[in-house]
Amino acid sequence: MSSDKSKGKIVFSGNDIHYPGQTNHDACFIPVSVRQYAGEPLYIIVAHWCLLQQNWVQRNQIAEAVHITARRASNLIAYLRSKTSRVVSICRHQTLPNKARRYEIYVIRVLDSPTPSTRREKAGPPPVSKRRVGNGDRSMANELWSRLGSHSNAGKILKKKEDEDDGT
């Protein structure tokens, strides 16, 4: 048996390939009917393709259209189901004799990406807690750690420091 990986690879022309933004995904084929969305993430391209089908779509249909594995197509369906901010869809499942579920998705609408002004802005730093935990002075903490690391009698140093603070 040969384990040559290049045998199973499909070669695409240059403009048919989509390279997702995530580095853990391989390149895939973009169907002609949705090439105008080539700059979008893969799940949006698949959502537009499903929308054009105007019917229930299974993972095998997605896998065949986009030239990806059935497992990856299943993951895309799951992602589309959960990504309600951009994709309006309904989902149904069929239980197979071996108790496995096969999901089908029907895409009703794909929404445009939110404009930068509608996105949430990053919140500022969290407010300082009124409790004692976590509000220590960093310089004092660094000094304490350096003393603890360099002295074997760290407990005495701490006690001495407390006595000095109480006396002044």
- State pLDDT tens for residues 63-118: 999 888 999 999 999 988 888 888 999 999 888 899 888 889 999 999 887 665 55
Give the pLDDT band of residue 4 (cuts 50, 70, 90).
very low
Q: Tell me, what's the pLDDT at 168?
A: 56
Domains, the chain, ranges and CATH?
A: 12-110 (1.10.10.10), 138-167 (no CATH)
Average pLDDT across the chain, whole number: 76
Q: What is the pTM of this model?
A: 0.58
Q: Tell me what pLDDT residue 12 has.
A: 46
The 3-class secondary structure across the chain, one letter per residue, is CCCCHHHHCCCCCHHHEECCCCCCCCCEECCHHHHHHCCCCHHHHHHHHHHHHCCCEEHHHHHHHHCCCHHHHHHHHHHHHHCCCCEEEEEEEEECCCCCEEEEEEEEEECCCCCCCCCCCCCCCCCCCCCCCCCCCHHHHHHHHHHHHHCCCHHHHHHHHHHHHHHC
